């Protein structure tokens, strides 16, 4: 692997930004204290946490006290979903989810179903957009929560939270709206007031922050129960030891991501357009999966290369120090067709031949062009060997 790395798997994780590491180091080495109100060192740490909450809250158009730092996106999903369902079970045990939600969301609901809760899973169209007519039909008098993945991690579809909220408000009872925004945050604008969202999960390592650190927004007044118990030092919903370096690093990553937000999004769109145009013009029988450019997440592209396996492409690119993904980052070791690809009408071949390319701010134009050069050779070689049908001439 003599060539410089090209990392196009940012939906799975991202590298830690150098500025984030620099911000964390004092709290790993010297400022190891806990928050408190009666000592200078405790007060300093308490102020650091409050500043981190303010940094995040500003990006969501909410209040700092509505921000909880967690141990990851999955942790935030569990706290929000379980906490809301358990707190409201006397008025209803029904939830609405989707067949194309992220596995970390689906797993929480599967666990709740074992405890006697009931769910309706609405479908999505070929681009990954939820069927809002199904959503309206799924609402019952005992529906408590609707929970969806904000940006589909496989297809790049950005769900219309405002439209979802409008439908939920047609019900006679309060239905909470939770959005798993781990792939959406820092990629699309999120205004929780304007969108009518009651809770959101965020994962810091998806935008060059530290791994094992998440963020949970819960709207003031949301009826939610603790799902974890212990000593509560700062966050009611997340008791126990507080990861101060992780909180500082997460806040720094947020600050960097939103420093020139519009400029960064424009850069993602430039990379996306370059990759899309190069792939479809140079590699025949390439199919875009998900919404067209301009409608999908700007840092996301999913393409099926017909007649060959995406796993084979991924491994051959890996030999060239180019890193992409096929299927869900949480289950790509499973060679079954991706459930989202299948649930949105793809064939086994289209699903197996798909490759996902996702960007962060460290991806370069040169890296994109080298990826296409290698892909062109790789796809041609694999198709010559392919037993699936068409060969490159």
Is 265 part of any domain?
A: yes
Query: 264 and 250: one domain?
Result: no
pLDDT digits (tens, 9 = 90+) for 62-111: 999 999 999 999 999 999 999 999 999 999 999 999 999 999 999 999 99
Query: 138 and 26: one domain?
Result: yes
Query: 74 and 220: one domain?
Result: yes
Query: 236 and 352: one domain?
Result: no
Q: How confident is the model at residue 330 (pLDDT cuts 50, 70, 90)?
A: very low
pLDDT digits (tens, 9 = 90+) for 246-256: 999 999 999 99
Rounded to the nearest 10 degrees, how much is the dihedral formed by the CA atoms of 13, 18, 22, 28? 30
Is 392 part of any domain?
A: no
257: buried, middle or exposed (CB in 10 Å: 19+, 13-18, 0-12)? buried
- The Cα 388–Cα 187 span in angstroms is 37
- The Cα 233–Cα 83 span in angstroms is 19
Q: Which two tokens stand for residue 357?
A: 């390319």
Query: 281 and 244: one domain?
Result: no
**pLDDT (average), residues 15-42:** 92
Q: Which two tokens stand for residue 79?
A: 């706290």
Give the pLDDT of residue 33: 84
Residue percentage of the chain with pLDDT more than 70: 95
Is 201 part of any domain?
A: yes
Q: Which of 230, 259, 288 is the endpoint of a domain?
A: 259
Q: CATH number of the domain that 96 lies in?
A: 3.40.640.10
Q: How confident is the model at residue 334 (pLDDT cuts 50, 70, 90)?
A: low
* Catalytically active residues, by annotation: 330
Mean pLDDT check: name the lowest of 23-37, 92-106, 141-155.
23-37
Identify the CA nearest to 357 among candidates 311, 276, 302. 302
Task: Say yes or no to pLDDT of 2 above 60.
Answer: no
Instruction: Give one word for 209, left, alpha or beta, with left for phi > 0 and alpha for psi -120 to 50.
Output: beta
Q: Which of 204, 228, 259 is the endpoint of a domain?
A: 259
Crossing angle of the two packed helices 18-29 and 244-259, in degrees rounded to 10: 160
Query: 245 and 326: one domain?
Result: no
pLDDT digits (tens, 9 = 90+) for 213-248: 999 999 999 999 999 999 887 899 999 989 999 999
Give the pLDDT of residue 392: 47
The 3-state secondary structure of the chain reads: CCCCCEECECCCCCCCCHHHHHHHHHHHHCCCCCCCCCCHHHHHHHHHHHHHHHHHHHHHCCCHHHEEEECCHHHHHHHHHHHHHHHCCCCCCEEEEECCCCHHHHHHHHHHHHCCCEEEEECECCCCCECHHHHHHHCCCCEEEEEEECECCCCCCECCHHHHHHHHCCCCCCCEEEEECCCCCCCCCCCHHHHCCCEEEEEHHHHCCCCCCEEEEECCCCCCCCCCCCCCCCCCCCCCCCCHHHHHHHHHHHHHHHHCHHHHHHHHHHHHHHHHHHHHHHCCCEEECCCCCCCCCCCEEEEEECCCCHHHHHHHHHHCCEECECCCCCCCCCCCCCHHHHHCCCCHHHHHCEEEEECCCCCCHHHHHHHHHHHHHHHHHHHHHCCCCCCCC
216: buried, middle or exposed (CB in 10 Å: 19+, 13-18, 0-12)? buried
Query: 302 and 247: one domain?
Result: no
Q: What is the pTM of this model?
A: 0.94
pLDDT digits (tens, 9 = 90+) for 338-382: 899 898 888 888 888 999 999 999 999 999 999 999 999 999 999
Is 380 part of any domain?
A: yes
Task: Say yes or no to pLDDT of 389 above 70.
Answer: no
- The Cα 56–Cα 63 span in angstroms is 9
**pLDDT (average), residues 308-318:** 95
Q: CATH number of the domain that 349 lies in?
A: 3.90.1150.10
Crossing angle of the two packed helices 365-385 and 261-282, in degrees rounded to 10: 30
Strand pairing partners for 95? 119, 145
pLDDT digits (tens, 9 = 90+) for 151-198: 999 999 999 999 999 999 999 999 999 999 999 999 999 999 999 999
Expressed as residue numbers, the domain containing 34 is: 18-259
Query: 236 and 335: one domain?
Result: no
Is 391 part of any domain?
A: no
Q: Which of 203, 225, 259 is the endpoint of a domain?
A: 259
Query: 271 and 319: one domain?
Result: yes
Query: 183 and 271: one domain?
Result: no
- The Cα 119–Cα 130 span in angstroms is 16
Query: 341 and 381: one domain?
Result: yes
Rounded to the nearest 10 degrees, how much is the dihedral formed by the CA atoms of 206, 219, 156, 208? -10
How many other C-beta atoms lie within 10 A of the C-beta of residue 241? 9
Is 317 part of any domain?
A: yes
Is 48 part of any domain?
A: yes
Query: 216 and 313: one domain?
Result: no
What domain count does the chain have? 2
Q: Do 26 and 244 meet the contact criterion of CB atoms below 8 Å apart? A: no
Q: How confident is the model at residue 331 (pLDDT cuts 50, 70, 90)?
A: very low
Task: Say yes or no to pLDDT of 328 above 80.
Answer: no
Is 156 part of any domain?
A: yes
């Amino acid at each position: 692997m003599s060539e410089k790395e090209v990392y196009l798997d940012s939906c799975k994780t991202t590298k830690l930004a150098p500025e984030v590491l620099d911000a964390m180091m004092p709290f790993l080495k010297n400022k190891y204290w806990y928050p408190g109100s009666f000592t200078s060192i405790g007060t300093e740490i308490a102020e650091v946490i409050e500043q981190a909450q303010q940094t995040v809250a500003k990006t969501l158009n909410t209040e700092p006290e509505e921000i909880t730092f967690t141990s990851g996106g999955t942790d935030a999903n569990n706290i929000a979903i379980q906490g809301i369902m358990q707190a409201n079970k006397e008025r209803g045990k029904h939830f609405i989810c989707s067949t194309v939600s992220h596995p970390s969301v689906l797993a929480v609901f599967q666990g709740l179903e074992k405890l006697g809760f009931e769910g309706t899973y609405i479908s999505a169209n070929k681009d990954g957009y939820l069927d809002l007519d199904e959503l309206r039909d799924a609402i019952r008098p005992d529906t408590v929560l609707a929970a969806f993945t904000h940006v589909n991690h496989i297809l790049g579809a950005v769900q219309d939270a405002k439209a979802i909220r409008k439908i939920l408000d047609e019900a006679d009872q309060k239905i909470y709206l939770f959005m798993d925004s781990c792939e959406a945050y820092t990629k699309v604008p999120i205004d929780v007031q304007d969108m009518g969202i009651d809770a959101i999960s965020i994962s810091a390592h998806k935008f060059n922050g530290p791994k094992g650190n998440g963020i949970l927004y819960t709207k003031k007044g949301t009826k939610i129960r603790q799902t974890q118990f212990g000593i509560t030092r700062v966050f009611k919903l997340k008791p126990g030891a507080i990861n101060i370096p992780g909180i500082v690093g997460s806040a720094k990553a947020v600050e960097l991501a939103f420093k020139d937000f519009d400029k960064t999004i424009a850069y993602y769109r430039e990379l996306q357009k370059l990759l899309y145009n190069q792939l479809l013009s140079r590699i025949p029988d390439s199919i875009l999966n998900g919404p067209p450019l301009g409608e999908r997440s700007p840092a996301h592209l999913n393409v099926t290369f017909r007649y060959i396996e995406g796993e084979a492409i991924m491994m051959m690119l890996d030999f060239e120090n180019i890193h992409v993904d096929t299927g869900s980052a949480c289950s790509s070791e499973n060679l079954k067709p991706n459930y989202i690809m299948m649930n949105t009408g793809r064939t086994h071949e289209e699903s197996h031949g798909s490759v996902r390319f996702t960007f962060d701010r460290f991806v370069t134009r040169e890296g994109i062009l080298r990826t296409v050069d290698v892909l062109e050779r790789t796809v041609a070689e694999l198709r010559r060997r392919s037993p699936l049908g068409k060969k490159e001439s």
